[in-house]
Each structure stands twice: as C-alpha cells, then as structure tokens.
Structure 1
Amino acid sequence: MNIIVCVKQIIDPEIPAAIFKIDPNAKRAIPPDRRAFIISDYDEVAVEAAIRIKEAKGGKVTVLSLGSQSVIETIKHCLAMGADEGILLTDPLFEEEDRSLTAYALAMAIKKVGEFDLIFCGRQEGDWDAGQVSLGIAEILGIPSVNPVKKVEVKNGTILVKRIVDDGYEVIEIPCPALVTVSNELGKPRYPDMKGIMMAARKKISIWTSQDIDAEPSKLGPSAAKVKMLKLYIPVNEARCEFVEGETPEEAGANLALRLRKAKLI
C-alpha cells in the first residue's frame, strides 16, 4: 500500500509558561529555541498507524509536512520511526495561518506524489486543536474520510475502521483511496531505535515550493485566507488580597460579611 501521512511541527506544550512568548503584531508564538519544536502528538500516532499497516501489508509510507526548514527535524523523526520518504513544503505563500490554505497546499502536494491508497492525519493539531486540515484535504481530493478513529485494518482492498463516538465506537468500511484521522486511543507510538535514527540521518528530504506542486497563487497567501485572526495574546491574571480584621473572631466574621456584601458577592 502507498500511504501518506500529514504531520505538523509544533512548539512543545510542556515548555515552562515563563518562557512562552508571542509576537502580537505577527500574531504568532515565538519558540525559545529549536529544541522547543516537536511533532504534534496526534500526528505521531498517525505515523504509528501507517507503519503498522506497512509492516502487516507491505508498501511505502511517505511523510508530508508544511513549514520552515526546522520541520526537517520532525520529518527525520518520522523516518526514524519507520517511514520511507519525507517531503517538506516551504514557501512564503504557505506562511498564512489559515487551515483552508494549509489543506489546499497539502492536497496539491499529495496530487504531485501520485497514486496512493490511504492518507493518515492526526485527529487535531497539538497546538491550536483545530482538527480542520484533514477534512479539508479529503474534500479537495474528493475522497471519503473518517474522523476520529481508534483502530484501522486493511481487508480485501478496503479500509475497516473503528470510529470513536460518545458512547463507544462504530465500525465503518470505506473504499480506497481514503483519508483517516486517528486518535491517541490507537496506542502509544514507537520510540525510534538507534538503527532507525542513523538511517533517517542519511536520507534526503525533498523540498517543494508552491510552484513545484502547481498551486495557484490566488489560492494561497493573505488575500486567499478565509479566517482573519484579530488578536493573539497571553491572558494576564491579576489578584488582590485584602485582610479583614476584628477584635474578636466574631467581629472579624461580621466585618467579612459586610465587606462581601459591599462587593455584592453575597
């Protein structure tokens, strides 16, 4: 099977809050350094799902990601896990933070990759929690999609999945090609071993621009964005403490009640 996995690099959500910064003008988070980048956790599970099918049925796993040159480290991580090929999409036209534009760019890149049987994505982003890109890709490519999924099997050229619902799961069978977004219920992703890390280090990552994937410039960039971010900021929490005293515990209690009533809290 030819499997494509779309992954995203994010700022590690476990970094200390004290060093998390944003650029209010650009409306973007500012990573403290390169070590703060990791693969989105749901996307790592998607890579694991793809490798499991490759091990069971054979085939090829191609990892596709969009971003800056730093994303190469994330792609290398996927190769170390067991993926076969990595492709990075990087272009100034891809920098707009709009899910519809990201879905369009990834879909055009998938068309350039060629024939495929299955596309895996994580159920949602590990930073914005949007969960829109995967469904957008399926819509653009005109293929069926299921979201979110806890188990995937390939049987007789079709995909059998367990889709998570509020009170359990439902079993769905879909034809290939298809897109499936997986959740962490699928299981813990493997940790790359030394052999995989060394092999990934030697592999070359293909780098494609908007021209390489035949994307229409009018469908990318700020002018094509369907969502406009008005403001991005870190909430500021202010707290004040006031001591209510009295000559006796009873008087202190009465003064507290009067103060709360004055503040219209009781």
Structure 2
Amino acid sequence: MFSYDAETRYTWFKGESLEPERQFELVGMIVGLALYNGVILGINFAPIVYKKLVGEQVGLEDVKIAFPGLGKGLEMLLDWKEEDGDVEDVFCRSFDIEYEVWGKVRTIPLVHGGSNIPVTNANRKEYVDLYINHYVNESVKRQFGAFRRGFHRVCGGPALKMCRAEELEMMICGTNELDFKDLEAGAKYDDGYDANHEVIKNFWSVAHSMSHEHKKELLMFVTASDRVPLKGLGNLVFVIQRNGPDTERLPTALTCFGRLLLPEYSTKEKLENRLITAIENAKGFGLV
C-alpha cells in the first residue's frame, strides 16, 4: 500500500497498489482516531500528505523535500540557462512520465499526444507543473482519495481547516525536539529511587550527554515512540524503577507503562555502557 524512501525515511502512497480503497480508507480512519484521541503515531508520511489533507497547494519546494532526486532534476530543468542551449537538446524529454509497474516500464502522457511533444525552453514550466501534478495527485488519486475520506470521516470539519499542514503533522506525529531537561523535570521514580539517588543523578548525566540519535533510541526503548507529545516531554509518562542491586544485566523496559527498569549500577561508566548497549540492541528480540 505504501512505499518507503531510505534516503528521506518518508512513506508515500503506492500508485500501482492493487489493494481495495477500503483498506486505504481504514488507514485514514485510524490516523484520524489517533489524532482525535491525542495518541502520537510513529508514522513518517511525506509532508505533502498533510498539505493535501488540509487542501494546501503542493509545489516544487515540497517535491524537493519529499523526493529529493526528482525535485533536484526538475529544478535543474527550470534553472537551465538559455545561453547554454535549449533544454530539448540537453535533457531530451517529452511531455510524458515513465513508471516501473510490476517490473515493466509504463509511459503515461501528461497531455494528449505528450510523447510526441518535446520539452523546450518555452514550455518547460508547464511540463514541470504537469509532472508534479501527476506525481503527487493523479498517480495516487484513488489511494489518497480513499485515505482522505477515512481521515475526514473522523476529523473533518471547520476545525481542520484552521490548521496549517505543519501543525496537523505535529498533532499527529509530535515533534523531534528532544528537551531532556523537560523529561527529567516530569520523571517519576519507584522502588527505592528518587531524584537525589546517586544512580538517578548518573542516569540523567548520561542521558543529557547523549547524541540526538541515542536520545531517540532511549525514548523508543522506554515508551515505544521517539516522538514528543504536543505538550512536551514533561507530559510523557517516564518512570525509572529500581531493578535490583549492581549487576551485569542490561536495563529493561515496560513500554506499555513507560517504565525503565534500571539496576543499581555501581558506577556512572557502567551505567552508561549497559544503557547504551540496551538501547542500541533492543529491536528484534527481548532483552531479559
């Protein structure tokens, strides 16, 4: 139903998907229900999706963000200087678009007889506009239309029209700004730990010095999401619970309850080593 771009890490609709429309409509309803109930989702749709949901116009700058290779190519076509030659001779393009569908290349004209109309200096702007419209609208019209219907069945109405695309994205996916001081201020402790315990002081010293990627991994490890709620990390359920005396065992977590089970490591260095090992290797199997 969806494609994933390893470069941008964005998810986009598969125009060649044969899944029935009700499947896309169901996904739209689930996203709408998450928004309605204030549940942050770990999805990474291309920003274009949110622009289309609120009815904003999509242009070349949006394509450059969502599909960098395509965007740069179209921009190069527009910026080509006439004194360096006609784009017809340099780019050798016509008014059509080619897709690989199920292992076969399919050519779709952007206008009637487009395969026989060359792209020139005079008509290149029209070509880019048609190309973008086809790529982000026409090619996924069935799939996105069903997704949008499902979303609007739950969250449609005047309130949605008040949002900008980036605001809608933030409400659905949270933000990437990781303020661990805010997280520390809202943290709770259990089974013998408190804010003044030496292990807790060591923990926050390690956490604050982590790279951005490790901070995301720590949040994912404890809460099952690396996204930040709208009200900030201070409103996130984050509990550090003592899990026995000093040991060689790794920290574990109860993600459903936002609890980090942290043994009483004897040194800061050992805590850092055990914690980093746990969060870097927590996918694919259970750590006990």
Q: TM-score, normalised by structure 1?
A: 0.22
State the structure with bigger RCO (CA 8 A, min sep 6), 1 or 2: 1
Comparing both structures, which one devotes a greater share of its residues to helix?
2
Comparing both structures, which one devotes a greater share of its residues to strand?
1
Q: TM-score, normalised by structure 2?
A: 0.20
